[in-house]
Amino acid sequence: RGITGVLRVAAFQTAALALVPDALGALRDAHPRLRVEVTQREPESAIPALLARDFDVVITEEYPGDPSPRPAGVEYAELGEDEITLALPEPAPPGAGLRDLAGTPWVMEPEGTASRRWATRLCRAAGFEPDVRFESTDLLLHLRLAERGHAAALLPGLVWSGGPPAIPVVRLPEDDRIRRLFTATRRGGGSHPAVRAFRDALADAFAHRG
């Protein structure tokens, strides 16, 4: 209970929504004098900010077949795996899968993101170029557009925050459906008591997310 000071964390959206609040609750109970500051930030900009000492811990991700560059000054600890499913726009043909969505509007994250590279590769492997009509880093917007029948979307499990999917979803091919989640610190920073406490609380939140 003696951990004090300030811990600065960067987390991408779905981790910030589904995992960070529970982790903060555990830390508040176990280490009431530790101040945790959280910023929502995508990994593409969060890792450089970690190296610039703007953050102490970054929650980051890696998509299938798209390993992210790992700067020499950063060390990673795996948090777990998160399954991505294909959300079908309503109404969708019975039994529809990825190959049946060649002419369907899509919502994806912006060009240059790991998610966009992976999603584009996935569609091309299925034999078509996706018709991306909507771009946003906000996965709740992706979900809403799929719910209202405006677009197909590729949604990670964390977007459901532990509950069951609220719209029809289809499992992707086994080699293309798991993104890996990590926490990243500057080299040597993973041994700091505040960092260890946060990683433990985050791992517990991940294990009990539902």
pLDDT of residue 115: 94
How many Å apart are CA 177 and CA 156, to the nearest integer? 9
pLDDT of residue 2: 80
pLDDT of residue 137: 92
pLDDT of residue 13: 94
pLDDT of residue 65: 85
pLDDT means over runs of 10, the chain (210 residues): 91 95 95 96 94 97 86 94 90 76 93 93 94 96 93 93 80 91 95 96 89
For residue 43, what are the CA distances in angstroms to 37, 49, 68, 113? 17, 9, 10, 9
For residue 181, what are the CA distances in angstroms to 33, 59, 102, 105, 139? 28, 7, 29, 28, 16
Q: How many CB atoms lie within 10 A of CB 59?
A: 27
pTM greater than 0.85 (yes/no): yes
pLDDT of residue 92: 65
Q: How many CB atoms lie within 10 A of CB 66?
A: 13
